[in-house]
Structure 1
Amino acid sequence: MMQDVAIRLACHNCGQLHVKPQLHERQRASCVRCGTVLLQKGKLNVSAWLALSIAALWVFLIANLMPVATLSSAGMSRSATFLQAITVTWGQGFPLVASMCLMVGFVIPLLQLSQLTWILFFLNRKKYPPGLRSLSRLLALCKPWSMIPVFMLGVLVAVVKLANMASLDPETGLWAFAVLTFLLTFLNKLNSRKIWQLAQEQGVANDLPVNPQAGNYVLACEVCSQVALSDHTSGDCKRCHASVHYRKPKYKSRTLALLAAAIVFYVPANLFPVMFIDTFLGASGHTILGGVLQLWQLGSWDLALIVFVASIVVPISKIVIMLVLYFNDKSGSYAVQRQHTRLYQIVEFIGQWSMLDVFVVILLAALANFGSLMSVMPGHGASAFGLVVVFTMLSAHSFDIREGWSYVDDGIEKEDFEPVETAPTFQ
């Protein structure tokens, strides 16, 4: 029997309601219906997270203030920071490409690290962080768009391409970005739900109990995981004040519109050159596929494979998977819906990696700039491809995978949950 008042937890992928378990270290609780990890308690405490966040913030500043690499040719040399690469791209007449790279490679990661450091500083002192509600909502928006690891991979691809053109020396910024990539990989585990979990562990926030008689609709907050039952299909979270919906309103029309925009821009993204290389021997345009073939001819088959997957396989896969989910969201089959949930999780995970080629282009434009001897400029294909990345990510965020589970009758009781022992993880 369900208790009159209890702490509830809803799966953000299928909507299944659970009684919230108390976890010990190295335990996790998974959804009994779709298998999504609901809660996980790792080894790191707030102090350790704060140390990682402060270290990442300092390394971020070093990475953006110091040059990434120096390119030398015919007695001339060029070095560039990430911000200088953005400035060069803007000056060459491609403000859209420059703006996208500035946001996902500098502004949003800086916001993410600053917010984490602020929140963890107060949590470490067992105090309620000022502005926690607003900051946690902003953190939930920022996290998918922070693309430092993608930029680091783009630096490696650019280095291989430039090494064949002239003498290239890695600089401090490159090593700082490498360290920052590892730090952010760990810190990305700190999503907004994990932040509120840490706040509860520090005793500065609590789950609000849920009265199962309050209504028929489960309103689960995607920011802080607070659950409410209501007779209405939407409202505001009582804990963090985020907008909460039983199902995302008009999600199908938004998803289809964004997918259509991604498909439209995908055609010029592959037909038009993403960059032009101008040397004393002549000018040549390079498409995405042409860049893959160039890496292969240079002997870097591993990077060629990575670029092929990130720039060709991933965008096509995202579009195809989202179309499958869109037209089969009411299958009514438990097995099929579970597969759909896994596919949706894959789309969310791989979404940002298609930005790789855009980062490569701006780095090449900044470093390989020797006037009449050699210069690199972005092409309109880079602008179109950046928009493909943005629209496919927005379509995935707009889609509501929970709707399909509304048509699945699997007989699972709402109060069930399954705590599972796991191997130690860095969390």
Structure 2
Amino acid sequence: MASPRPLIACEHCASIFRRHELAPGEVASCGRCGTTLWRYSGLTLGGWLALALTAAIVFMIANAYPVAKMQVQGMEQQASLLDALTVTWQQQHWVVALMTGAAGFALPMTQLALLLWVLYPLSRGRLPPAFRFCMRLLGLLRPWCMVPVFMLGVLVAVVKLSGMASVQPGFGLAGFALLTILLTMLGRLSPHTLWRYAEDTGVVHAHVPQERQGEILTGCHVCGQVQAVALADPEALHRCHRCDAPLHLRKPDHLARTWALLISAAVFYIPANVLPVMSIDSLLGDSAHTILGGVIELWQMGSWDLATIVFVASVLVPLTKLLSLAALALFIQFGNTSNLRQRTRLYTMVEFIGQWSMLDVFVVILLAALANFHGLMEISAAPGAAAFGTVVILTMLAAMSFDPRRGWDMEAAGTQIADRAPPSGVEQISAGVDGRGVR
């Protein structure tokens, strides 16, 4: 008798499905909340390994060459990402240097190293050393790797400086453009996906649990393994029996943590927009620029497209995240279960746009490195840049703390859920908690 197919849990509504093989081009979505569960991939483990190795080589090239060059009165200054970080550190803006250095260099490099570490043994049919630890670390790092944001920051910085002097893109910019494409493709290799590859390879066991009285099926946030846990205490701490990660049926105290982080972000949002994010010291005098001031400057230079991008990324996106997460938290707090599918899509959007608000911070450090002509012109970060980076971090942490499954739990507790036909490729086993609900 064939063994039952592995189970998969929807991270946004807690529905449980059996995992089926997909045909080329197919996508399996949750029939309850619409979240994408997994996609068909034509790449083998060897193909993913080649892609990761290419990305690692491109990463080294992109950071070894300057992303832009600037010429003023016969003097030339060129800057790579590492140059920008060094100049920012020397100017004693340590918080800004640490934030951008981690998001643009250290964490993406670690992410690629982890992928290479696990993909090579898996492609040879072996379990990678320290596989469980590597997958937990990869899951923590993925949201904070911001190479695409840095690449867009280079383009904005080049346009900003083009009105002052001769600025040319460097070879490193082409490297970051290619690296952005490769990392976007590798973004599909989540820890859950790698664990499924390990299951298919046969190096780890895929346990298929049975739900018994007083228990409920839930998925591990690290490895995706569905397992049965006691329903009596939803806040209790369990351990995943496959990867040993801490496991809660629902995120404990999610509203308290979400509100605390949102309020903190709102407090920092004021100085981030009021205080200057950049100061310029030149022969013509000193000046300071806020975020909105930079948007207006780009608009006046005729770069309406970049002005719009910066305005959306640096003004609208943080405000949208704050208001959206506050609305989602209020809905849960007051027991409102209307439009849950739309609210789940809103939460997914908030998660996706989280990192793009770091755009202006990257722009500032690049301007500081390119316009570093002692005695003629110097650009440096200002207090608003650190405040703005803090807003980005706090809003991302708030989104991670919020648990959208709580709204679906309340719907299941208060109403009889109608049967829904699961989409092609999945077989629904459970629609979250039973009628008692989880609070």
TM-score over 0.5 for the pair: yes
Partner of 1:326: 329
Task: Give 1:75 shift.
Answer: 1.3
Partner of 2:378: 375
Structure 2 counterpart SS, 1:283:
strand
Whole-angstrom distance in 1 between the partners of 2:425 and 2:159: 44
Does the alignment pair 1:268 with 2:271? yes
The 3 A distance-change label for structure 1 pair 242 and 214 is farther
1:154-182, Cα deviation, whole Å (9 max, x unpaired): 00000101111111222221111111011
Does the alignment pair 1:310 with 2:313? yes
Aligned pairs for 1:19-418 within 5 A: 19-213=18-212, 215-231=214-230, 233=234, 234-329=237-332, 335-409=338-412, 411-412=416-417, 417-418=422-423
Structure 2 counterpart SS, 1:408:
helix
Structure 2 counterpart SS, 1:59:
helix
Whole-angstrom distance in 1 between the partners of 2:109 and 2:325: 30
Structure 1 counterpart SS, 2:17:
strand
Range 249-258 or range 38-47, more displaced: 38-47
Partner of 1:424: none
The 3 A distance-change label for structure 1 pair 335 and 219 is same
Q: Is the 8 A contact 1:348 1:393 kept in 2?
A: yes
Task: Give 1:257 shift.
Answer: 0.7
Structure 1 counterpart SS, 2:287:
strand
The 3 A distance-change label for structure 1 pair 416 and 207 is farther
Whole-angstrom distance in 2 between the partners of 1:128 and 1:6: 21
The 3 A distance-change label for structure 1 pair 135 and 214 is farther
Whole-angstrom distance in 1 between the partners of 2:420 and 2:199: 22
Q: Is the 8 A contact 2:22 2:425 kept in 1?
A: no
User: Which amino acid in the other structure matches residue 64 of structure 1?
Assistant: N
With structure 2 as the length reference, what TM-score do the two structures score?
0.91
Whole-angstrom distance in 2 between the partners of 1:293 and 1:405: 43
User: Which amino acid in the other structure matches residue 124 of structure 1?
Assistant: S
User: Which amino acid in the other structure matches residue 274 of structure 2?
Assistant: L
The 3 A distance-change label for structure 1 pair 258 and 358 is same
Whole-angstrom distance in 2 between the partners of 1:420 and 1:153: 37
Whole-angstrom distance in 1 between the partners of 2:284 and 2:246: 58
Task: Give 1:28 shift.
Answer: 2.7
Range 187-196 or range 406-415, more displaced: 406-415
1:112-138, Cα deviation, whole Å (9 max, x unpaired): 111111111111111111111111111
Aligned length: 418
User: Which amino acid in the other structure matches residue 246 of structure 2?
Assistant: S
User: Which amino acid in the other structure matches residue 180 of structure 2?
Assistant: T
Whole-angstrom distance in 1 between the partners of 2:252 and 2:148: 33
The 3 A distance-change label for structure 1 pair 405 and 145 is same
Whole-angstrom distance in 1 between the partners of 2:108 and 2:254: 28
The 3 A distance-change label for structure 1 pair 7 and 183 is closer
Task: Give 1:335 shift.
Answer: 4.8
Task: Give 1:369 shift.
Answer: 0.9
Whole-angstrom distance in 2 between the partners of 1:27 and 1:202: 22
Range 370-379 or range 4-13, more displaced: 4-13
Task: Give 1:205 shift.
Answer: 2.3
Q: Is the 8 A contact 2:88 2:365 kept in 1?
A: yes
Q: Is the 8 A contact 1:27 1:40 kept in 2?
A: yes
Structure 2 counterpart SS, 1:23:
coil
Structure 1 counterpart SS, 2:37:
strand
Task: Give 1:418 shift.
Answer: 2.3
Task: Give 1:63 shift.
Answer: 1.1
The 3 A distance-change label for structure 1 pair 420 and 227 is closer
User: Which amino acid in the other structure matches residue 239 of structure 1?
Assistant: R
1:43-95, Cα deviation, whole Å (9 max, x unpaired): 12211111110000011111112111221111111112211211111111210
Over the matched positions of the two proteins, sequence identity in percent amounts to: 49
Task: Give 1:332 shift.
Answer: 5.9
Q: Is the 8 A contact 2:340 2:408 kept in 1?
A: yes
Structure 1 counterpart SS, 2:204:
coil
Whole-angstrom distance in 2 between the partners of 1:34 and 1:352: 24
1:283-319, Cα deviation, whole Å (9 max, x unpaired): 1110000000111111110000000000000000000
Whole-angstrom distance in 1 between the partners of 2:396 and 2:363: 20
Whole-angstrom distance in 2 between the partners of 1:42 and 1:147: 24
Structure 2 counterpart SS, 1:229:
strand
Whole-angstrom distance in 2 between the partners of 1:20 and 1:173: 42
Structure 2 counterpart SS, 1:419:
coil
Q: Is the 8 A contact 1:19 1:416 kept in 2?
A: no
Partner of 2:434: none
The 3 A distance-change label for structure 1 pair 68 and 5 is closer
Whole-angstrom distance in 1 between the partners of 2:224 and 2:416: 24
Structure 1 counterpart SS, 2:410:
coil
User: Which amino acid in the other structure matches residue 264 of structure 1?
Assistant: V
What's the Cα RMSD here? Answer: 2.0
Q: Is the 8 A contact 2:255 2:329 kept in 1?
A: yes
Q: Is the 8 A contact 2:5 2:20 kept in 1?
A: no
Whole-angstrom distance in 2 between the partners of 1:414 and 1:62: 54
Whole-angstrom distance in 1 between the partners of 2:38 and 2:175: 32
Task: Give 1:417 shift.
Answer: 3.8
Structure 2 counterpart SS, 1:406:
helix
User: Which amino acid in the other structure matches residue 193 of structure 1?
Assistant: H
Task: Give 1:199 shift.
Answer: 1.6
Range 327-336 or range 238-247, more displaced: 327-336
